[in-house]
Chain A
């Protein structure tokens, strides 16, 4: 006896189905089903995952969906062929696009009109058979409509069957068994109940009959089905399954052709574009090795027919360049000679050809993958261009499946079980993303929940099984699908949260499985900052200056970076990077590539950082086990740093095949969402040990893989980022005013708040001028006149001020500078709140009045009714007492986040509490291990997950920043000070890392021994950012 399950919900029917699509397919295959249909509620979001499982197995997958119509009918639609599949996609799209995100609406009328090929199963509710209903709707579906019957040991099942049978006879409709499956195995029932509770926002114990009454909606062995259903109903399932022959791989995806001029051949055209570009890149002639590489790449592209992909990316990049939008490609295929010639990327293959080992793989049928970063403020222009050029019918954004993580799973399961909110908070608190479910048990104990109790055990089981469940679909940050066929025939679309944005129901992994083209159109703040800085440099020079004009290999730039003078420099400005820079001493471009890649969870968790540093500093000889390893690891001194190297190592040292390596790469990318990676552990470690490698090294390599999973960082990305890092560092070194101006005008981005950037600018000799209604624009700008341009702060710093208010002010200023507070308020029609934003920010300081008095005078004009004649304001002669310097500083921080007056620490320096404190700049002159005290404003607190409980605190004083290390035991003792302190005094021991490189700056830390907090002296809302 054969059986096909035709009604089966996966967990992509969010908060209803309690099994992954793959689990359902696998179970159906194990039970010997002939086919299984995944019929999620108005969705095809789970079918690709199901298909991935089905093609590994001997079972047919049927695509379908179920719908609850407005008329109260519940119908299951199955796609027998390609036309029906397109029809189903269109039906889902139209039902969803006319509803809010996550909802749908479908009427019988719409269905009758749009459903001409799909097979329909109707499992009527008992009442629907009793009530006299209009059955005329059955007509159009003649020959493809079945009455569905499911036997779940519900009450009155015999009666229901008799009624159904009578109805079927009367209307000459066939009957079929359909399971209404919600889970692949019975034991998921508690999870299914929890999902119901989450869906209706209640607890399982109060849901009563709103829960499914028993646990029968799972995939059953065929012999059990035979006991429950008449044989004819089971046979009918196979007849239906045999009518369905559509398979997802029939979706013959084709690249769009818009980027190719009419009548041109793609291969020839790409070749021409490439060599045209090469001429520009190497005006003196293309070096022979590069020419060879171009030929190799073009041959491969032609062989795999990827021309349209490169042409499309080229077309988008070309548009951006014409618009003056800075952009840069990255990703494996981006760092090819072809992409360099097409100006998609700037990584010169001549500069470092080692990078191109991993291009598109011939064996793996892997699609090329290029991500393009654009200026974050102008990405929307590019997106609109894509919609214009390819049309909304052919271009769409891919989805991101938002899944349950540990924290959200704990929160939702806890609520569903009715646990105390306070308790749930306690449990999720300080729960970092790298925490594993294993830690949960321990955490539950520390949360004082008796682990022996049923609830606790249920809780853990439920949390672990809920993890990885999809929660909803969201918009991908910028993944575009562009296709020759209308997207609507390939995959359903639905509304995203953002107005006017639609997404398809598949995510990037699904697209990759089906071999569809995806281009990531990403936003990068640093590109905006660079473009602005380049414009200012052009202004300063009086001639255009572009990214290509920045000279490579500038020793002064590398020297600056080696001093850890990197505030604001792309990718190397964090505290951790700053302590690494003096140790690594970057001198070449490739050093930067490593520098960027090394401070990542991968190399850190793999324990590769210190071995690399020792070799780099010459403390340890560089050696290789054999030549094969040398080939993989030579560029990183024998230590694996990059994700590619780790995968290559698995192939070279543990005999992974190409296909296995590819699976490994996928497993790494999904680490944290599932445990697929763990399956490779034994193979890796055993394989390496068998080949004579150290087991400990193999274990470290595996830890590194897990680290990459959390934050994958391939070499190609690092190389593209290194280019931007170098460019921003060069600008900072040679044009600091232009650099900071560009950066400040592109905020928010990066690691630092305006106050810290401005402090750094001042330390680099940039004259910073206060914001002023007579001189400032909305943006920060440069003022010329002195030997070096001065940075005039913009009105954007005034908290609460809107851009159009500032623009109106600037327009009015064209007619003459403002002469008094009254002149200002009379001439610029701003509302009270907007005007006060300016006064509070002390932008009226130019009138030689203090801020209180300015407000007093301006406020006098404000309460006058609009209808009263604008008579001269009666002038009272009251003079308010002015603020002290400290009060001024306090107001500056509060209303602009920045103060150009003396640093608060400077004002407090003579306070008895700080008698014994050194300034940040004095620390360098102290001996290693000497006792020191320092005090300053807390600008950053950071507890990296990779640094075993160490907390780093950055203190800022009038001379600079100092880094404080707080060990775990001290954190307990000074918890309050650390968590709430804004002004801290630290007594501790100076730690100066000896640096063997000649001329290198030492890395200085203060290891805290005692912490005291002096917020009371301060009461300033300093912009401190806390990172976890």
Chain B
């Protein structure tokens, strides 16, 4: 067996959206700096400092809170990508991937060649990678912490040099290894500094003093004890991208990267045992513009060639405004390959559940995606800010709004407000003659004022609202602006 561990020691920093090389960045966790950019380092910011110290060392430092979820997404992407080289891939939290290579060596002819490919791929993505090979997954994992030159571990033929691996392992400083704080403390207090020193001690004596788990690790390291692990499981949605330095300017040039992305998707679908229903192609152009092309698929199984053909058909109809810098593919809607069990008789509710999305699909196809929006209540004092238009969302369609929580205290403080169903945007100026107000006819005030005075943090709005009757009988909502003293019509009651 031949195991390769790829470790991303700078993942917390490198998983962040790209920024300029000169940016002074520090990733912080609980007010402690855990990683720094080169510029920040130049200013004296180092790992372990409090963010306060760091900022006082480097006034233009930007502190970013560590985002473990983002790191895991990135790591999963790498694990998924690793599948093309190996059938056995393990994720090692927080920042490494271990894969078995012996069975794929023939495919790539030799280790050196495969290794070069791997490293090149990481370099292209501007990711720092540490790596190591060894005969057991744990040995590869630990060795990768010191990132030994690969040539010291394998010979020209790509065969593992056991002795060299053992030497490299023995030289590993214990402080690098992922032991518990207690164990580290104990090892430190025993004056033990390298893995070699630890390995030299009899296992029984060690177990007696440090507990059995360390000893078990040492046995796994040597392959003297099985090391069962659960294989990597991909993320619930798929997303992958390709960047093109200098950009691609014709759609035909996009064929190859699109094919590669569909390949990745295929691997992903295989891993998850599911089928996608959509393809979203996102373009980022050199001039900063963006575009998205979405395809709905109704296939029964994923066929890369078909998908590529469909994609290229759509691409051909595109007019590229500028060279494409990034092409990415994402899929959000998946079906399990096996349909979920359904009840014997469809209830009305489930039929409804099926129909609504279908209706939405149809409407969108007919009228275009932009023509359909969904309204959402927003809690705000100003009526015009009291709602928001959002793209329709299937889940929300099916949900009935939750009943308002009604405790006596909240009822007392939040009585339901009387608001018109129809708001004018912008409010219409009302003509005033003497005491009489006119808007396409005369208006008669019925009730008010209701005073609103809020929103000072952007532009203070003070208004006295009245309910009025229009001469045609409609009930109108008008207000007098507290500053300009001018009258406006703001809406109609149904």
Whether A876 and B202, one on each chain, are in contact in the complex, defined by CB atoms closer than 8 angstroms, is: yes
Stretch at the interface among B105-113, B268-276, B451-459: B451-459
0/1 per residue, B432-471, Cβ < 8 Å to A? 0000000000000001011111101111001010000000
Stretch at the interface among B54-62, B337-345, B350-358, B368-376: B54-62
Whether B55 and A425, one on each chain, are in contact in the complex, defined by CB atoms closer than 8 angstroms, is: yes
Residue in A128, A193, A839, A979 whose CB lies within 8 Å of B456: A193
Given contacts A127-B412, A975-B44, A975-B56, contact A216 B451 (CB under 8 A): yes
Whether A856 and B452, one on each chain, are in contact in the complex, defined by CB atoms closer than 8 angstroms, is: no
Residue in A125, A190, A975, A979 whose CB lies within 8 Å of B412: A125
**Nearest 6 A/B pairs, CB to CB:** A208-B379, A976-B44, A72-B408, A153-B451, A859-B209, A214-B453
A473 to B6, CA, bound (A): 56
Residue in B44, B53, B450, B457 whose CB lies within 8 Å of A458: B457
> Nearest Cβ distance between residue A143 and chain B, in whole angstroms?
26
Given contacts A208-B378, A860-B208, A860-B209, contact A855 B190 (CB under 8 A): yes
Whether A127 and B415, one on each chain, are in contact in the complex, defined by CB atoms closer than 8 angstroms, is: yes
Tell me if A422 counts as interface (CB < 8 A to partner B).
Answer: yes
Tell me if B88 counts as interface (CB < 8 A to partner A).
Answer: no
A214 to B192, CA, bound (A): 70
Whether B57 and A979, one on each chain, are in contact in the complex, defined by CB atoms closer than 8 angstroms, is: yes
Query: Which of chain B's residues have a CB closer than 8 A to the CB of A852?
Result: 189-191
A206 to B414, CA, bound (A): 16
Tell me if B195 counts as interface (CB < 8 A to partner A).
Answer: no
Query: Which of chain A's residues have a CB closer than 8 A to the CB of B456?
Result: 189-190, 193, 458
Stretch at the interface among A154-162, A675-683, A731-739, A762-770: A154-162
Query: Which of chain A's residues have a CB closer than 8 A to the CB of B211?
Result: 863
0/1 per residue, B196-209, Cβ < 8 Å to A? 00000110010111
CB-nearest residue of chain A to B209: A859
Tell me if B136 counts as interface (CB < 8 A to partner A).
Answer: no
A852 to B189, CA, bound (A): 6
Tell me if A384 counts as interface (CB < 8 A to partner B).
Answer: no
Query: Which of chain A's residues have a CB closer than 8 A to the CB of B415?
Result: 125-127, 156
Given contacts A72-B408, A214-B451, A878-B201, contact A205 B190 (CB under 8 A): no
Whether A68 and B409, one on each chain, are in contact in the complex, defined by CB atoms closer than 8 angstroms, is: yes
> Nearest Cβ distance between residue B412 and chain A, in whole angstroms?
4
Tell me if B52 counts as interface (CB < 8 A to partner A).
Answer: yes
A127 to B205, CA, bound (A): 76
Query: Which of chain A's residues have a CB closer than 8 A to the CB of B205?
Result: 860, 876, 878
Whether B457 and A152, one on each chain, are in contact in the complex, defined by CB atoms closer than 8 angstroms, is: no
Given contacts A128-B412, A859-B209, A876-B205, contact A422 B63 (CB under 8 A): yes
Query: Which of chain B's residues have a CB closer than 8 A to the CB of A156?
Result: 415, 418
> Nearest Cβ distance between residue B181 and chain A, in whole angstroms?
12
Whether A208 and B412, one on each chain, are in contact in the complex, defined by CB atoms closer than 8 angstroms, is: no
Query: Which of chain B's residues have a CB closer than 8 A to the CB of A882?
Result: 191
Give the interface of A toward B (CB within 8 A). 68, 71-72, 74, 125-128, 152-158, 189-190, 193, 204-211, 213-216, 417, 422, 425-426, 429-430, 454-455, 458, 836, 839-840, 851-852, 855-856, 859-860, 862-864, 876, 878, 880-883, 887, 891, 975-976, 979-980
Tell me if B49 counts as interface (CB < 8 A to partner A).
Answer: yes
Contact sample, A vs B, 15 pairs, CB 8 Å cutoff: A72-B408, A125-B412, A209-B417, A211-B454, A213-B454, A214-B454, A417-B457, A426-B55, A454-B459, A458-B456, A836-B186, A840-B189, A860-B209, A863-B209, A975-B44
Given contacts A126-B415, A153-B451, A208-B379, contact A836 B189 (CB under 8 A): yes
Tell me if B380 counts as interface (CB < 8 A to partner A).
Answer: yes
Residues from 182 to 239 in B contacting A, C-beta threshold 8 Å: 186, 189-192, 201-202, 205, 207-211
CB-nearest residue of chain A to B45: A976
A862 to B450, CA, bound (A): 77
CB-nearest residue of chain B to A418: B457
CB-nearest residue of chain A to B62: A422
Residue in B52, B451, B452 whose CB lies within 8 Å of A429: B52
Tell me if B51 counts as interface (CB < 8 A to partner A).
Answer: yes
Residue in B52, B57, B62, B452 whose CB lies within 8 Å of A213: B452
Whether B458 and A839, one on each chain, are in contact in the complex, defined by CB atoms closer than 8 angstroms, is: no
CB-nearest residue of chain A to B385: A208
Whether A209 and B209, one on each chain, are in contact in the complex, defined by CB atoms closer than 8 angstroms, is: no
CB-nearest residue of chain A to B211: A863
Other than the given A206-B379, A878-B205, 9 more pairs (CB < 8 A) read: A72-B409, A127-B411, A193-B454, A211-B454, A855-B189, A881-B191, A882-B191, A975-B57, A976-B44
Whether A863 and B208, one on each chain, are in contact in the complex, defined by CB atoms closer than 8 angstroms, is: yes
> Nearest Cβ distance between residue A1028 and chain B, in whole angstroms?
12
Residues from 52 to 109 in B contacting A, C-beta threshold 8 Å: 52-53, 55-57, 62-63
A876 to B206, CA, bound (A): 11
Q: Is the interface of A mostly helix, strand, loop or mixed?
A: helix
A423 to B55, CA, bound (A): 11
Tell me if B43 counts as interface (CB < 8 A to partner A).
Answer: yes
Query: Which of chain A's residues have a CB closer than 8 A to the CB of B56?
Result: 429-430, 975, 979
> Nearest Cβ distance between residue A495 and chain B, in whole angstroms?
23
> Nearest Cβ distance between residue B282 and chain A, in whole angstroms?
28
Query: Which of chain B's residues have a CB closer than 8 A to the CB of A211?
Result: 381, 454
CB-nearest residue of chain B to A416: B457
CB-nearest residue of chain B to A210: B379
Whether B44 and A213, one on each chain, are in contact in the complex, defined by CB atoms closer than 8 angstroms, is: no
Tell me if B46 counts as interface (CB < 8 A to partner A).
Answer: yes
Q: Select the residue from B211, B409, B418 with max chain A CB neighbours within 10 A.
A: B409
Residue in B189, B192, B451 whose CB lies within 8 Å of A839: B189
Given contacts A851-B189, A863-B207, contact A158 B381 (CB under 8 A): no
A855 to B208, CA, bound (A): 12
A1024 to B417, CA, bound (A): 61
Residues from 390 to 425 in B contacting A, C-beta threshold 8 Å: 408-409, 411-415, 417-418
Query: Which of chain B's residues have a CB closer than 8 A to the CB of A891?
Result: 189
Whether A213 and B63, one on each chain, are in contact in the complex, defined by CB atoms closer than 8 angstroms, is: no
Whether A454 and B53, one on each chain, are in contact in the complex, defined by CB atoms closer than 8 angstroms, is: no
CB-nearest residue of chain A to B409: A72
Whether A74 and B412, one on each chain, are in contact in the complex, defined by CB atoms closer than 8 angstroms, is: yes
Whether A429 and B412, one on each chain, are in contact in the complex, defined by CB atoms closer than 8 angstroms, is: no
Given contacts A190-B456, A860-B209, A878-B202, contact A976 B450 (CB under 8 A): no
> Nearest Cβ distance between residue A840 and chain B, in whole angstroms?
6
Query: Which of chain B's residues have a CB closer than 8 A to the CB of A426?
Result: 55
Query: Which of chain B's residues have a CB closer than 8 A to the CB of A880?
Result: 190-192
> Nearest Cβ distance between residue A206 and chain B, in whole angstroms?
8
A141 to B379, CA, bound (A): 39
Given contacts A158-B447, A976-B43, contact A189 B417 (CB under 8 A): no
A454 to B457, CA, bound (A): 8
A215 to B378, CA, bound (A): 22
Whether B191 and A208, one on each chain, are in contact in the complex, defined by CB atoms closer than 8 angstroms, is: no
Given contacts A153-B451, A209-B379, A851-B189, contact A980 B53 (CB under 8 A): yes
> Nearest Cβ distance between residue A314 and chain B, in whole angstroms?
49
Query: Which of chain A's residues have a CB closer than 8 A to the CB of B411?
Result: 72, 125, 127
Query: Which of chain A's residues have a CB closer than 8 A to the CB of B449?
Result: 153
> Nearest Cβ distance between residue B149 and chain A, in whole angstroms?
25
A878 to B449, CA, bound (A): 92
CB-nearest residue of chain A to B28: A422
Given contacts A840-B189, A883-B191, contact A980 B55 (CB under 8 A): no
0/1 per residue, B108-136, Cβ < 8 Å to A? 00000000000000000000000000000
> Nearest Cβ distance between residue B5 and chain A, in whole angstroms?
29
Q: Select the residue from B191, B418, B456 with max chain A CB neighbours within 10 A.
A: B191
Query: Which of chain B's residues have a CB closer than 8 A to the CB of A205?
Result: 457-458
> Nearest Cβ distance between residue A459 and chain B, in whole angstroms?
10
Whether B380 and A209, one on each chain, are in contact in the complex, defined by CB atoms closer than 8 angstroms, is: yes
> Nearest Cβ distance between residue A154 and chain B, in whole angstroms?
7
Whether A859 and B186, one on each chain, are in contact in the complex, defined by CB atoms closer than 8 angstroms, is: yes
CB-nearest residue of chain A to B44: A976
CB-nearest residue of chain B to A833: B182
Query: Which of chain A's residues have a CB closer than 8 A to the CB of B189?
Result: 836, 839-840, 851-852, 855, 891
Given contacts A127-B412, A878-B205, contact A154 B191 (CB under 8 A): no
